[in-house]
Each structure stands twice: as C-alpha cells, then as structure tokens.
Amino acid sequence: MTIPAITFLPLIIFLTFIDVSSSATNVFNVVSFGAKPDGVTDSTAAFLKAWQGACGSAASATVVVPTGTFLLKQITFGGPCKSKLKFQVTGTVVAPADYWAFANSGYWILFNKVSRFSMVGGTFDARGDGFWSCRKSGQNCPPGVRSISFNAAKDVIISGVKSMNSQVGHMTLNGCTNVVVRNIRLVAPGNSPNTDGFTVQFSTGVTLTGSTVQTGDDCVAIGPGTRNFLISKLACGPGHGVSIGSLAKQLNEDGVENVTLSSAVFTGTQNGVRIKSWARPSTGFVRNVFFQNLIMKNVQNPIIIDQNYCPSNLGCPTEHSGVKISGVTYKNIQGTSATQQAMKLACSKSNPCTGITLQDIKLTYNKGTPATSYCFNAIGKNLGVIQPTSCLNR
C-alpha cells in the first residue's frame, strides 16, 4: 500500500524547478570578507557579510566556505533573497567550545525564510561534549542549541552535509515547504543525552533519502503539523529510532499525516518505528502512515505505539490520549529484537487505533526464545505471515 501519487506531486514539480548543478553567476567567498580558516578566529561577521552580499544579488549567487576550519558563533542567515542562492561548503565549521556562548538562543545556525536555496557539503561540528557533560552531571546548564535549523523555508535542497556532536539536535525543519534532503550524515555518540537527529514539524512536502543518523535520541523526530514526508534509504543507529511524536503536549495540536518510511536499517537502537503520545486530551491525530521494507538488527522495540508516553515516569498524566491514530501500515519488517516483546501497540483507552495493517512481519528474539506481541485497543488486519503472532483486534 502506498501514498497516492498526488501526495508527492509538489516534490516532483520542485525537483524540475530548481537545478542545484547550475553555476551561480556571483561567488561570495567568506575568506574574501575576512573569515580565517584557522578554527580559532571568530568568522561570524565575515559569514554574515558574504551572505548579505549574495542574498542581495539580483542574479543567482553562491556563498563559498572553502577548505579549512572556521569558527562560527550563533548566526541567522535571513531571507527572502532576491534570487536563487547556494551555500557551498568544502571546509569545516565549528561552534564555540564554551556552550554558554549560546545562552538561551536555542540555535547555532539558522536559515530563516529562505527560498530557492541549496546547501551543499561541509562538516558542522557543534562540539557538544562539554554541554553533554554538564547535563549528565546535573549542574545548572543552558537549554542547548540545535545545530542547523530552517524556519519558514521553501523550495530547498540540502545535500552532502555532515553534522557532528550537536548539543540537542542536528538538523531541524520548522514551518517549511518542499524540502529535499539527501546524503547527509548526522553523528553523535549514542550516550549524548536527548540529541535528536533530523527533526520535522509544521512542514509539508519533505523528502529525506540516502542518509545516516547516529545519535543519542531519535534518528528522525516527526512533530505536529508534518504532512507528506517521505523517508527512504535510512541507516539509523545508535539512537532511538524513527518517532512520530511525542504528541498531545498540548490540547490544540496539529496532526501528522501522509508519512512513508521505506528501505531503512535500524542497528542497536532503542526503538525501530514508534508513535508516541502523552495520555492527555488533544485535537491531534496520526493517519496514513506507511512503514515498509525495514530491517531491525538487535532493536529493543522494533514496532511500538505508546499512547501513555512519559519517559521520566514522574508526574505522568493519568487521562486518556486524545490523539487519534488510524491507517498505519507495517509491511515487510524483518530482523531481531533485543527484547522478547518485539511488537507493542498500546493505544488510547478512549480512542482506539484503527485501520492498523500488519503484513509480512518476521521479528525474532535474540535469545532463541520466541518473540511476543502486546496490543491494547488496537484494531486492524493481518496479511501474510506475522511473527510474532499478531494481537490485533479485528
């Protein structure tokens, strides 16, 4: 079962509309504006000047970050710009070692309201080690920053980017439309606390393909307001898997629909594919979701719906989740579970999950003991061989 072709039509149109291979007529090299490739000198002002020149150009322009290491503090690259713009990086961009330098900003590098924009190449190292140590010690720490953020962006291609050691999140799309992300690497240690990989919320028409995420929290986090999101050829692990949610953080919340994850490998992750919501009232929903052609390698919770989400187990809400989950398909998912319960579909007490489809599932438990499944208020159908035995209500 697939999302109708009309769902991804905007992406197809977009790919023919913007050509990242076309050469820009104006080149704005950050070194020409005073940036120093020594990894020590603050190059923030030079980056901003190069951006302003390129963004104000009437003809297509390219901001070039050449070979070398550039120290960049908190920065906003603001749009909209006058023409198509490419941000071409061959060097390495590093954040300040002092995590207090970001204060409560929430971001390191922010692209705001850009359109007809491409970001190509480069390594971005947020140097999150000190911040993680602070968090683990229980000291008074700043909230941390996301490494690369796009806010209200439209018609964007991101390709060949590597993000390392993010404090709390490698790459975030918020309120974006028509974004293609391909061949990126998001890397942090598996014990980096709450460090998400790729986060999407309030965005429509996003594609993530051919990418690797190794991090301390969700490899891909799908938040409220996400529509028409296609993920393919993903390598995830370590990390917490691909998660829709958490939802029901507040009463009036936008839903998630038309999400497809296909051809992915999960290695040693805490979860495989997860839908999570708090047990409180919400106007939110999850519908028309497809998880297909997935391989699980020693994954703790390969398939999980948790509508009683409360990770700290402290002060948990005791109401019923208002998030309505429907039309979720799990197809051709195979591999090994690190826990005996390989499949858990724990739905809301007042809003059952409906239209759940299990098709061709083969999950085994590593210890040689048969894997098990658990369902609560989950309604759907089974197609093909289901292992462990399905617990769906029909």
Catalytic residues: 240
Q: Among all chains, which residue has been given the structure tokens 């900003």?
A: 105
Of 302, 289, 184, 193, the residue nearest 245 (C-alpha): 289
For residue 148, CA distances in Å to 68, 123, 125, 161, 386 come to: 19, 11, 10, 10, 40
Q: Where would I find the H helices in 245-392?
A: none
Identify the CA nearest to 42 among candidates 66, 74, 90: 74
Sole residue written with tokens 């908190």: 74
The sign of the torsion formed by the CA atoms of 210, 215, 220, 223 equals: negative
SS3 string of 52-118? HHHHCCCCCEEEEECCCEEECCCEEEECCCCCCEEEEECCEEECCCCHHHHCCCCEEEEEECCEEEE
Nearest-10 Cα torsion for 125, 130, 133, 135: -80
